[in-house]
Amino acid sequence: MLTPTEARERAAEIVARATRAGADAADAVFAADAASDVSVRLGVLEDVGRSESEELGLRVFVGRRSASVSTSDLSGAAMDELVLRAVAMAREAPEDPWAGLAPEARLLHGEPPSLDLDDGGEVAPAELKAMALAAEEAARAVPGVSNSEGGGASASRSVWALATSHGFAGAYATTGYSLSASVIAGTGSGMQRDYAYHSARHRSRLEAAEEIGARAGARAVARLDPGRVASGAMPVVFDPRVGASLLGHLVGAISGGAITRKTSFLLDALGTQAFASGVTVRDDPHLPHGLRSRPFDGEGLAVSPVDIVSAGVLETWLLDSASARQLGLEPTGHAARGVNGAPGASTSNLYMAAGKVPVETLIGDIARGVFVTELIGQGVNPVTGDYSRGAAGFLIEDGAITRPVSEFTVAGNLKDMFRALTPANDLEFRHATNVPTIRIDGMTVAGG
């Protein structure tokens, strides 16, 4: 695999070829990845996989016309053909008044911040197998677990580089490790499944296999013999692993594409109280060894931590350069892209700040409600904000989480849900998007 320096030079060289071939402007992305993964089931090795890839994507501009091409053939002849084809395509493309590279004055200059994303390590398949077996064994050892869907472990290393014709060239490398277990509790028609996993940039920060397995087993057993929920309006409490999806709906609603197309339920919400006053949502691309940390965005702009929501007020859209031009605004450093096509907008390490109350206090005054640990289906309308999803979890009775329940639906409107949202103080940084336990009052629950 190329080093970050070599990857940066590769991207810059193809951009130089494009301008020599007649492009008015160009940018290029180089992405390389090598990954190994192992899966086991019932103590036996099931699969060992290894993948390696190198791809290059080129975007060229001829006036306001643009075209994008990509290839995994990195030979000199292939590069020459790629450049000629891209320029020819751009000359035939329709004009786009918003097309173009990012503002030159906003590009990252100097050394990028050191984010500690690459631990330099390699893990042999035998080590991955041992990790996966340990996770599954710990899960199967939990009393009540009757079967296994397996354990898995993976390790990867990636290099990503970006170069533009107006002066930017940068690259960085990341490592990634993950470990998981999924098991089944009970027998016959009463079986229940659940899982646990963890991912980290550094192997030393990966949770112990025994902890992951034990959590998976305990979760599956806790779901045995679920009851039903009586329908009605009540508080709904979201476990952090499903509550993070609420921030996904927020991101979709405030991304530049949704705003320019006028297809967002938050279209008129900028600068207004979109959430309860105790809610802050932050995006931090500089989080050390964060799963989505990055020294610059997908267009080469400098990035920095930003409050998307501050004390409940929606402070910003998420804009790449094209959507920013269309809206008459500045790009926000949230451009993201792969090797194909133009940039879009995305967050990095997104999280909802911890609230002030423990989980026990958050649910302590709930006479009747539900604690949601699983969401099913995609019943969310991004234009109106209408929300309706199948769910499973536990009943909350007289301020305590009690018996498991399943086959119910939680519904509301995201605008109302955001304003009625209260976060607990149990935020942990385990994923790319993180939230504490979340309570939303007044949702509609429809039982089976």
Cα–Cα distance, 3 to 172 (Å, whole number):
9
Q: How far is CA 162 from CA 27, 108, 301, in A?
A: 7, 12, 11
Whether pLDDT at 111 is above 90: no
| SS3 label, residue 427 | coil
Considering the domain architecture, whether residues 261 and 213 belong to the same structural domain is answered as no
Considering the domain architecture, whether residues 238 and 217 belong to the same structural domain is answered as no
Show Cβ contacts of residue 160 under 8 Å, excluding neighbours closer than 6 positions: 7, 29, 30, 31, 171, 172, 173, 174
Q: How many CB atoms lie within 10 A of CB 63?
A: 14
Give the pLDDT mean for 273-302: 96
Total domains in the chain come to 2
Give the pLDDT mean for 379-397: 96
Considering the domain architecture, whether residues 256 and 142 belong to the same structural domain is answered as no
Considering the domain architecture, whether residues 369 and 323 belong to the same structural domain is answered as yes
At residue 133, φ and ψ (nearest 5 deg) are -65, -40
Cα–Cα distance, 420 to 439 (Å, whole number):
8
Considering the domain architecture, whether residues 297 and 386 belong to the same structural domain is answered as yes
Considering the domain architecture, whether residues 112 and 196 belong to the same structural domain is answered as yes
Considering the domain architecture, whether residues 233 and 162 belong to the same structural domain is answered as no
- The amino acid occupying position 23 is A
Considering the domain architecture, whether residues 167 and 309 belong to the same structural domain is answered as no
% of residues, the chain, pLDDT over 90: 95
Whether pLDDT at 341 is above 70: yes
Helix axis angle, 76-92 to 4-20, nearest 10°: 50
* 59 in Cβ contact with 66 (< 8 Å): yes
User: Over the stretch 155-212, which tens digit does the pLDDT of each residue have?
Assistant: 999 999 999 999 999 999 999 999 999 999 999 888 999 999 999 999 999 999 999 9
Considering the domain architecture, whether residues 295 and 397 belong to the same structural domain is answered as yes
Cα–Cα distance, 195 to 134 (Å, whole number):
14
Cα–Cα distance, 87 to 336 (Å, whole number):
23
Considering the domain architecture, whether residues 317 and 273 belong to the same structural domain is answered as yes
Q: Give the pLDDT band of residue 110 (cuts 50, 70, 90).
A: confident
The pLDDT value recorded for residue 448 is 67
Q: Encoding tokens for residue 123?
A: 């893990």
Cα–Cα distance, 289 to 174 (Å, whole number):
9
Considering the domain architecture, whether residues 366 and 308 belong to the same structural domain is answered as yes
pTM of the model: 0.94
| CATH number for position 14 | 3.30.2290.10
Q: Which of 175, 193, 221 finishes a domain?
A: 221
Q: Which of 199, 221, 243 finishes a domain?
A: 221
Q: Which of 158, 186, 221 finishes a domain?
A: 221
Q: Encoding tokens for residue 353?
A: 């700040």
DSSP codes joined into one string, 120-187: -----HHHHHHHHHHHHHHHHTSTTEEEEEEEEEEEEEEEEEEEETTS-EEEEEEEEEEEEEEEEES-
Cα–Cα distance, 62 to 339 (Å, whole number):
20
Considering the domain architecture, whether residues 247 and 197 belong to the same structural domain is answered as no
Residue numbers of the domain that contains 114? 4-221
